[in-house]
Amino acid sequence: MIWRGLCRRPLLLAIAMVVCFTWLFYRSDTLGDEVSLLERHHPLLFRYVHTNSALGGAWYIPRDWLSDTDHHPGGIVDAAQLALRAARSSVERQIPHSSIPLIVHQTWKNTRIDTWPRPIRHSTERWLRMIDGKAAYILWDDDGVAQFIQRFESELEEQFFALSPVERADVFRVLVSKWIGGVYADMDTEPLRSPADWISHSDLLPWQDPEAGKMYNSPGPVNAILGVEADCPSNSDDYWRMGYLHPLQLTQWAFAWAPGHPILQTFVDRLTAQLRTIMDQNGGLQTMSARQALRSLDPIALTGPGAITQATQSWLETTADLRWTALSGLHDNGTSKLVDDVLILPITGFSPGRRGYGNMGSKPISDPSARLLHRAQGSWRAFDLRVEYGKFCRTMFGRCRHWSKVPHHR
Ligand SMILES: *[C@@H]1O[C@H](CO)[C@@H](O)[C@H](O)[C@H]1NC(C)=O
């Protein structure tokens, strides 16, 4: 008996070791599989983003944009400036009929694509495939955004970092458009047409305000492309019941700009004026009361689509005497409208395929006027009971107009 007991222990040990090594072997094998699967399913994302080692993000600049004298950029801000210089040197590197550089900007926390939600990997790969060889692509991570702010807007730094992450993302897209320009698109958008085909001749045709009778006839070139997000009759309560701040609201999940457009500065000026008021009333931005005051502001109005809509509206009303709701596509089957150098796409432009309640004239994604698809209801978004309640209450009962529409992650 004693002899058998002694003998069994090494046997158990041996079995345990075999099990352990087998497990380790299969584990490293499946890890290898995951990497090769990532590469197989998302080859461009893998090549340009995942295997990148630069700080601040990742970028792709078409090889023939670069000359022999161009040094390999040391950081993401230099890369963006290099892309802009290259884009300016040739009209083929700008969106036709415009001065908008063919540079696509996106932003995400990091460049480790194995940690990204699957839909995000899918849509980003589609962007890279769509622009491969024809446009530059710049993916800014959190560190890259900080580098950018420090380089270009250092006097805004304190205000910028006092905002919530959602608001910072809102403001960054405006600032990168102001200094570099190009297309900005959220990570949950998918291109349906290459940005190089975003403007057709038919988008530039003269149009008439049906109420005021005024004709709009701009010679071009286009310096900004914005899309309608909400298109509701202005005399109904539809827009706020659906959660919008304006009957005719523009989107900021995608837009395109020539650098330096005055609407972008209008946005920045409006934001800094509001933040300065909070600073003056609360002794800075870091005090408890200042943080409370900041948190009580609606991000949609402060930095989101509401702010983009207000900046564009005030600029176009002043410079072009535009009657804002003349931009509605409800009465002309959704045609594009050029006002001065700003091209406003109908709702189908950046929001095609909306169905049922809240369709607002949105046509199917196969429609020629659809530029990109927006997957708003991504499963990676946090579910927020307060926000969902407000949505339900507005839609069903027409109440809760000022109930919060955005979860507060602060
Ligand atoms: C509206 O536009 C679509 C294409 O976007 C077209 O197929 C349809 O015939 C147009 N409808 C009218 C009434 O012109």
The residue nearest atom 12 of ligand 1, judged by CA position, is 333
Is residue 155 in a domain?
A: yes
The residue nearest atom 7 of ligand 1, judged by CA position, is 367
Q: 282 and 293 in contact (C-beta within 8 Å)?
A: yes
In short, whether 363's Cβ falls inside 6 Å of ligand 1 is: yes
Is residue 327 in a domain?
A: yes
User: Across the chain, what does the average pLDDT equal?
Assistant: 90
CA 74 to centroid of ligand 1, rounded, Å: 50
Q: Please write the tens of the pLDDT for every residue from 291-317.
A: 999 998 988 999 999 999 999 999 999
Q: 331 with 399, same domain?
A: no
In short, whether 367's Cβ falls inside 6 Å of ligand 1 is: yes
pLDDT band per the 50, 70, 90 thresholds, residue 18: confident
Q: 392 with 274, same domain?
A: no
Q: In sequence order, what E strands does 189-223 have?
A: 189-191, 207-208, 215-216
Q: Distance between CA 94 and CA 393 in Å, rounded?
A: 46
Is residue 346 in a domain?
A: yes
Is residue 36 in a domain?
A: no
- Is pLDDT above 80 for 33? no
Q: 221 with 105, same domain?
A: yes
- Is pLDDT above 80 for 384? no
Question: What's the mean pLDDT in 107-113?
Answer: 94
Count the helices and strands in the chain (H runs, E runs). Answer: 14, 13
pLDDT band per the 50, 70, 90 thresholds, residue 34: confident
Is residue 51 in a domain?
A: yes
Q: Distance between CA 257 and CA 148 in Å, rounded?
A: 18
- Is pLDDT above 80 for 130? yes
pLDDT at residue 379, rounded to an integer: 37
CA 333 to centroid of ligand 1, rounded, Å: 6
Instruction: Give the nearest ligand 1 atom to 363 CA.
Output: 5
Q: 301 with 215, same domain?
A: yes
Question: What's the mean pLDDT in 98-112?
Answer: 97
Q: 181 with 246, same domain?
A: yes
The residue nearest atom 5 of ligand 1, judged by CA position, is 367
CA atoms within 13 A on the CB side of 97: 22
- Is pLDDT above 70 for 208? yes
Residue 311 parent element (H or E): helix 305-320
Question: What's the mean pLDDT in 320-325?
Answer: 97
In short, whether 289's Cβ falls inside 6 Å of ligand 1 is: no
Looking at the structure of the chain, the number of domains it has is 2
In short, whether 335's Cβ falls inside 6 Å of ligand 1 is: no
For 64-88, b/e burial (b = at least 16 CB within 10 A) is ebeeeeeeebebbbbbbebbbebbe
- 5 or 131: which leads in pLDDT: 131
The residue nearest atom 9 of ligand 1, judged by CA position, is 333
* Closest by CA position to 121, among listed 216, 29, 40: 40
In short, whether 142's Cβ falls inside 6 Å of ligand 1 is: no
Q: Please write the tens of the pLDDT for every residue from 50-89.
A: 988 888 999 999 999 998 887 788 899 999 999 999 999 9
Structure tokens at 103: 């540079």
Instruction: Give the nearest ligand 1 atom to 369 CA.
Output: 5
pLDDT at residue 26, rounded to an integer: 58
Is residue 11 in a domain?
A: no
Q: 366 with 391, same domain?
A: no
Q: Distance between CA 323 and CA 210 in Å, rounded?
A: 10
Q: 270 with 408, same domain?
A: no
Q: 296 with 246, same domain?
A: yes
Beta bridge partners of 139: 58, 106
Is residue 271 in a domain?
A: yes
- 243 or 81: which leads in pLDDT: 81
Q: 325 with 397, same domain?
A: no
| Probe residue for ligand 1, chosen from 330, 333, 348, 366 as the CB with the greatest number of ligand atoms within 8 Å | 333
Q: 393 with 259, same domain?
A: no
In short, whether 28's Cβ falls inside 6 Å of ligand 1 is: no
Residue range of the domain that includes 391: 384-410
pLDDT band per the 50, 70, 90 thresholds, residue 377: very low
Q: 216 with 361, same domain?
A: yes
Is residue 28 in a domain?
A: no
Question: What's the mean pLDDT in 322-326?
Answer: 97
pLDDT band per the 50, 70, 90 thresholds, residue 378: very low
pTM for the model: 0.87
- Is pLDDT above 60 for 355? yes
Q: 196 with 306, same domain?
A: yes
Question: What's the mean pLDDT in 19-23?
Answer: 70
The residue nearest atom 13 of ligand 1, judged by CA position, is 333
CA 334 to centroid of ligand 1, rounded, Å: 9
The residue nearest atom 3 of ligand 1, judged by CA position, is 333
pLDDT at residue 394, rounded to an integer: 76
Structure tokens at 6: 């002694």
